[in-house]
Amino acid sequence: MITVNGDKKEWEEGLTVRRLLDREHFSFRLISVWVNDSLVDKPFYASFAIPDGAEVQIIHNICGG
Amino acid sequence: MKEMKLLTEWAYEPSKIHHGYSRKTLYVGLGNKDQKYSFAQKDVSDDMIDKFTGGRGFGLKLLWDAVKDTTKWNDPENEIVIAGGPFCGITQYPGTGKCYSVFLSPETKQTYNSNAGGYFAPFLKFAGFDAMELQGIADRPVVIFIDGDNNRIQIFESTAEDINAYAVSEELHAYFAKDEADKRTISVVTSGEAARTAWIAGMNFSFYDVHRKAVRLKQAGRGGGGTVLYHKNVVALVIKRTHFTSNENDVVDLETIRKAGVSIHKRIHDQDDYQSKMRTVGTAHLDEIMNDYHLLPIHNYKFGNSPEAVKIRSDEYKKLFTQGTADGCWYGCSLACAKAVDHFVLQYGPWKGREVIVDGPEYETAAGLGPNIGIFDPRWTIEANFYADHYGLDTISLGTGTAWLCECYELGLINKENTCGLDLSFGNKDDIMEHIQRVARGANDFSIACGKGVEYAREYFAEHYGSDLETMKKIGMVCQGLEASEYRCQESMAQWGGYFLTLKGPQHDEAWLIFMDMVNKQLPTNKDKAEALFFFPNFRLWFSLQGLCKLPWNDIEPADNGVRYKGLQAAKVPEHLGNYLNIFTAITGKPLDEAGMILQSEKVYNFERVFNLRMGKGTSKYHVAPDRGLGPVFPDEWMARPDYFDGKLKEFGVNIEGMSTKDKVALLQKYRRAQWEELKLAVYHRRGWNKNGIPTLATVKRLGIDYPDVVALLKKHLKPEDEFEPEEEPAKA
């Protein structure tokens, strides 16, 4: 299991940031991702493997137009 | 257009703008159907600037002074006040063409403010006025012409045969322009024929698109400003201003503004395609995003996600929007979100077969006149958008109202006999389009009732058709007389407040907290939510004081904003916030920090709340969240996401085993209703209001808006039993 913004979510072998974003349908573009308090830069979303038990924060940076 | 007879004219000595203000306002009185026209140039005092800043603030102050406690929207003393603000007309920074219109609303029966981009507000300011008041009722249809080139106001007897927006705006651009090129020096404010009977008629603000050689329209659509304009017998308000410089505001420090402008223009150029795609799609880029997050309103907000939404993705709209053309609605706005569809051939209505240019649709229209009424067809939505603008109908109230109507029809609360033969099932394109035409024409009693908004229509249906009022209230996304804008808010408790704890009703211009709250989980406690519902309404109101559009604030961001800052700080977009503070000082010469910015807003926010109290509303009993706003109302909504909603109920410690879906729906509503009541008190407390939602004497004194009439009014309404105890902490987790 991992937590995503505080909610428990299934972990799977080889889970990357990109895969997690797709699985959660997080399609908004202005986001920042932290895994265990470390920032993951966008170019590494497809390769960064999220470890089991990780705390993931996916912050959507907008408060409306 | 036939020549118009001049009824009266008035010349004035223009005031030169200095540091962002002309320090004069214009008063135009139309009499009371007696041809007693009157004009005045009023001074703007230091106190007015200090307390009300400009824009919407000026509008509220001037309206407050103009009306009586008993004034109704259709009384002659009601006004439409239009104002920009100190930023208005700046050409070096994007988003400075907004004007704010303030009036007593036919829909909400209290003050309303509605805004539109374009040329009108800058031209008004360059003509020498920080605001204009329009009062009275003319005895015949008139066109008011503010001739900013020759410093005179003229009132003509209108000869317009077609008062619909595209028709009359095109005619008046041609009428007052010397030649084709001169058409750009004109802006027209009008409504459309829907304003004759509908209360949801907005105002169209035109600008002339020199590339397309055509009139474009921007809408101050919400609240019924067009209805008020029509009731005053004003077919159009026209302004003309030919010459202006790049420093018409006579600012203190142009270089600072230029530097900030260069920086954000570069950011828009480099980042927009990767961020919000404003330049290629505009706000319609939100369609697929809202669908992915279960926020897209589908079938009167029952559902938030549908596989059919693939048909209304922004890619589909992008194919229809003309690309590669500057779409800024005022000089210097490179964000250019004003999309247009060229060579669109209409399929319905009186203009069937005619080729037109359609402005938009923006997200709200794409959703409201799309999935919310069960239609997933961009071409149909574009056509509905065209006719709504043309007739003066507010696309949001029309969309949300029609969505509610479709659900009423499918539930059997109204039938074909009531609708005069129309099958208003969700998705029935032909009959829904015919319904829109009938609302615009006021074709029959049913259409007229629908044109007055959901609150009126449900009472009418109950009285005349025996429809069940309680069910209609549960499913109607309306509060304080205003239909909600197009976000499904039920899964974000903070956004309940963003919609239903507002000054004027559920328009998301005060707060849009859904991502912060529902997705990011950055507002876990009531205290956090209350803080956000204090901060953002004030932060966002500030734009309406300055003559600013909010889109360049956070629909484009520094690429590293989300990693340099977190939480509330990131949400403010500190670099852009800094630009605004610096530019305010560069225009006016007055220092301003973030605290000062919020203070400017708080003065107006609380004044507006007091104003609504004066007009008979402005208390807790008008802050009502409909059931549909808080959660599922019927089992089919629950069953669209059974695991999700079961989980929500379990969060309250409920053992759901053996429970029927109907019982689950009722129980979740009960728990959320209790949460809503707690949130309400937490927010009131944070805003410095009492338990009845009224600003306290201490609050108005702190803000310096403790004018004798304000204090007298508050003393009439503030009750000891509504006070929070000093040690009382309503913001429970």
The span from the CA of B194 to the CA of B513, in Å, is: 34
Which H helix or E strand runs over B83?
strand B79-83
Structural domain harbouring B357: 266-483
The span from the CA of A38 to the CA of A29, in Å, is: 19
Residue B328 domain flag: yes
The span from the CA of B363 to the CA of B339, in Å, is: 11
CATH number at residue A23: 3.10.20.30
Query: How much is the ipTM here?
Result: 0.95
The whole-number pLDDT of residue B607 equals: 98
Residue B541 domain flag: no
pLDDT digits (tens, 9 = 90+) for B189-231: 999 999 999 999 999 999 999 888 999 999 999 999 999 999 9
Same-domain pairing of B321 and B395: yes
Per-run averaged pLDDT (10 residues), chain B, 733 residues? 97 97 98 98 98 98 98 98 97 94 98 95 97 98 98 98 97 97 97 98 95 92 97 98 95 97 93 83 84 97 97 90 77 83 95 92 94 97 97 98 98 98 98 98 98 98 98 98 97 97 95 94 95 95 95 88 85 94 98 98 98 98 98 98 97 96 98 98 98 98 98 98 81 46
The whole-number pLDDT of residue B566 equals: 80
Same-domain pairing of B274 and B419: yes
Contact between B241 and B147 under an 8 Å Cβ cutoff? The reply is no
Same-domain pairing of B521 and B396: no
Residue B581 domain flag: no
Same-domain pairing of B101 and B190: yes
Residue A17 domain flag: yes
pLDDT digits (tens, 9 = 90+) for A4-31: 999 999 999 999 999 999 999 999 988 8
User: Nearest residue of B to residue A22 by CA position?
Assistant: B292
Residue B442 backbone class (left: φ over 0; alpha: ψ -120 to 50; beta: rest): left
Residue B727 domain flag: no
Residue B498 domain flag: no
Q: How large is the angle between the packed helices B395-410 and B378-391, nearest 10 degrees?
A: 120
Same-domain pairing of B236 and B272: no
pLDDT digits (tens, 9 = 90+) for B471-505: 999 999 999 999 999 999 999 999 999 999 999 99
User: Nearest residue of B to residue A28 by CA position?
Assistant: B289
The whole-number pLDDT of residue B273 equals: 86
Q: DSSP string spanning B393-433?
A: B-HHHHHHHHHHHHHHHHTTSS-TTTTTS----TT-HHHHH
The whole-number pLDDT of residue B338 equals: 78
Same-domain pairing of B522 and B431: no
In chain B, the number of structural domains is 3
The span from the CA of B629 to the CA of B478, in Å, is: 9
Question: Which residues in chain B have Cβ-Cβ distances shorter than 8 Å to A25?
Answer: 292-293
Same-domain pairing of B114 and B187: yes
β-partners of residue B135 are: B29, B79
Q: Which of B208, B140, B205 is nearest to B177 (CA)?
A: B208
pLDDT digits (tens, 9 = 90+) for B156-173: 999 999 999 999 999 999
Touching B: A residues 20-39, CB under 8 Å: 25-32, 39
Among residues B222, B240, B258, the one where a domain terminates is B240
Structural domain harbouring A24: 2-60
In chain A, the number of structural domains is 1
Same-domain pairing of B230 and B271: no
Residue B732 domain flag: no
The whole-number pLDDT of residue B222 equals: 97
Same-domain pairing of B106 and B164: yes
The span from the CA of B115 to the CA of B220, in Å, is: 5
Do B293 and A28 count as a contact with CB atoms less than 8 A apart?
yes
Do B563 and A30 count as a contact with CB atoms less than 8 A apart?
no
CATH number at residue B479: 1.10.569.10
**Which of A58, A61, A63 lies at the smallest CB-CB distance from B512?**
A63
**Which of B551, B555, B562 lies at the smallest CB-CB distance from A59?**
B562
Could you tell me if B518 lies within 8 Å of chain A, comparing CB atoms?
no
Task: Give B596's contacts (C-beta < 8 A, 6+ positions apart).
Answer: none
User: Nearest residue of A to residue B537 by CA position?
Assistant: A63
Same-domain pairing of B293 and B368: yes
Preceding peptide of B361 cis, ω within 30°: yes
**Which of B524, B554, B562 lies at the smallest CB-CB distance from A31?**
B562
Residue B83 domain flag: yes
The span from the CA of B404 to the CA of B169, in Å, is: 32
- Give the type of residue at A40: V
Same-domain pairing of B171 and B225: yes
Q: Which of B695, B679, B696 is nearest to B730 (CA)?
A: B679
The whole-number pLDDT of residue A30 equals: 84
Residue A39 domain flag: yes
The whole-number pLDDT of residue A65 equals: 54
Same-domain pairing of B276 and B236: no
What three-state secondary structure class fits B731? coil
Residue B192 backbone class (left: φ over 0; alpha: ψ -120 to 50; beta: rest): left
A-B CB pairs within 8 A amount to 73
Selected for mutation to probe chain B from A8, A30, A34 (highest B CB count within 10 Å) is A30
Residue A45 domain flag: yes
Residue A55 domain flag: yes
Contact between B58 and B124 under an 8 Å Cβ cutoff? The reply is no
Phi and psi at residue B423, to the nearest 5°: -95, 100
What three-state secondary structure class fits B133? strand
Could you tell me if B508 lies within 8 Å of chain A, comparing CB atoms?
yes
Residues in chain B: 733
Residue B478 domain flag: yes
What percent of chain B is predicted at pLDDT more than 70?
99
Residue A65 domain flag: no
Question: Which residues in chain B have Cβ-Cβ distances shorter than 8 Å to A24?
Answer: none
The span from the CA of B64 to the CA of B412, in Å, is: 44
